[in-house]
Amino acid sequence: EDAPHERKVSPEDDTQTAAFRRDLVQGLSRGQKAVPPKWFYDAEGSRLFEDITALPEYYPTRQETALLRDRAAALTADFGPDAVLVEFGSGASEKTRLLLDAAPDLGAYVPLDISESALLDAAARIRADYPRLRVQPVPGDFEHLAPLPDDLPHGRRIGFFPGSTIGNLEPEEAVRFLASARRMLGEGALFILGVDLVKDPATLVAAYDDSQGVTAAFNLNLLARANAELGADFDLGAFAHRAVWNPDQSRMEMHLQAARQTAARVGDSVFTFMAGETLHTESSRKFTQDSVAALAKESGWSMAGFEVSPEPSVALALLRG
Ligand code: AVJ
């Protein structure tokens, strides 16, 4: 096991790898083979996602950033004194900065992320540019939220979940997440939720199947990662990227489709794909104002605002606890 050629891994990497193997083996054992989209984001996957956000066809990042820039003053108007901004799955991106710039007397910024290294990086970059802001990173999985540290300023808690990441969650998971965020943020909380909206399927499909093939590379990188990190032996040449609009579930789906019969070993198991069979790698749900309001209501929030960008449209929902 401790072969000298083996790369040294941190304990964090070790648990992540074990969890990836478990999720992949479980997902490949199902009728419709599937793997959770969070496993896209190794270093190469994160880099490819950054490239996706700059593609002409991938409108969500651009549209949400512009919308946030436009509406930051309105969205931060009710933060009040000593407010605490809690970002879920923090990227500490340009988007966060747009809110921080519009709320100069924020009490604290609490980025929350499953990856401790990404979290500490993000916190350091924000601290460098906002030296007077209190930054208190909290490591954690946003599907199992721990209570906030109890020494934070006592103003209103504001959740921030941009990027339409909520669309990756199954409807029940999304309700569970928003309900536990509401408990975590407490009385009087606000929540700024970024969602992508239903639109013509051609625009949606193009956003997930770009002409340069970056999204295809992002999708296939999942198999490359499994080969490199788990010692799996997927034949990457046997799989093609597919992006399909599922109108019944109101979601974009990404699949990897076997062009011919192929098999892959993961751990101790061998999984066979028939020709044409797919591995479902991501669902990205698309919303309407009504479906966001329903989701908010089911999880104990009420929708206090809904800001829509120009086309191709995305929205920022303002929820009140
Ligand atoms: C980061 C989850 C919002 O679903 O649009 C981009 C990821 N997948 N292209 C999305 C993604 C394919 C993205 N999210």
User: What ipTM was predicted for this assembly?
Assistant: 0.99
Query: Ligand 1 centre and the CA of 124: distance in Å?
Result: 25
Ligand 1 pocket, 162 CB below 6 A?
no
Global pTM?
0.94
Name which residue sits closest to atom 8 of ligand 1, judged by CA: 208
pLDDT tens by residue, 166-213: 999 999 999 999 999 999 999 999 999 999 999 999 999 999 999 999
Q: How far is CA 112 from the centre of its chain?
A: 12
Choose the residue to mutate in 48, 49, 161, 209 for probing ligand 1, maximizing ligand atoms within 8 Å of C-beta.
Answer: 49
Q: How far is CA 288 from the centre of its chain?
A: 19
Ligand 1 pocket, 76 CB below 6 A?
no
pLDDT tens by residue, 67-94: 999 999 999 999 999 999 999 986 667 8
Ligand 1: nearest atom to the Cα of 37: 2
Ligand 1 pocket, 215 CB below 6 A?
yes
Name which residue sits closest to atom 1 of ligand 1, judged by CA: 165
Ligand 1 pocket, 208 CB below 6 A?
yes
Residue 96: phi and psi, rounded to 5, are -60, -45
